[in-house]
Amino acid sequence: MRFHDAPLLETLTIKLGLECPTDVDVVKWVAKAVDRYVLRKLEFELSWNNEPMRMPNSLYTCETLTKLTLSDNVLVDVPCPVYLPSLHRLYLLNVVYKDEDSHVRLLLGCPVLKRLMVIRHNDVDDNARKFTVKVPSLLELMYMNTCFGDYVDE
């Protein structure tokens, strides 16, 4: 990323698995792309056993971002204010929320959001007891609450 000088970065996909060293500073990669206003789509999947990773605050005010996917061990710690004026698609897949209102603050800052997908595991504490969605522009909502463990047919 430090050698990237193109005027546009269409998509940045970062997927880190269990074998990835936990000292990798991928948040800097995201921050650089966001701070240069070149990022359109970000997909961030963090499947390691370390503490959830917090995204840079600048992510939540990125004017060019149209699609955002946060997955697994990502901490949704949303500052005030949030303003994502171009975000049309948001995918929150098994993330951890800093507090009960983090997702509410995030959604309030997405005035043109059309598609929202939320997947949560009901046996993992993600710090959100109820999940409120109030987005006037929303056309499509997919909400899934899945369960780990053995399936028991009752």
pLDDT in tens, 53-90: 888 888 899 888 999 999 988 899 998 889 999 999 99
Closest CA to 39 of 56, 25, 22, 17: 56
Enumerate the domain spans of the chain.
Answer: 9-146
pLDDT of res. 120: 92
pLDDT of res. 22: 62
Q: Report pTM.
A: 0.84
pLDDT of res. 152: 44
CA–CA distance from 96 to each of 34, 118, 137 (Å)?
Answer: 22, 12, 25
Q: Residues in the chain with pLDDT < 50? A: 1, 151-154
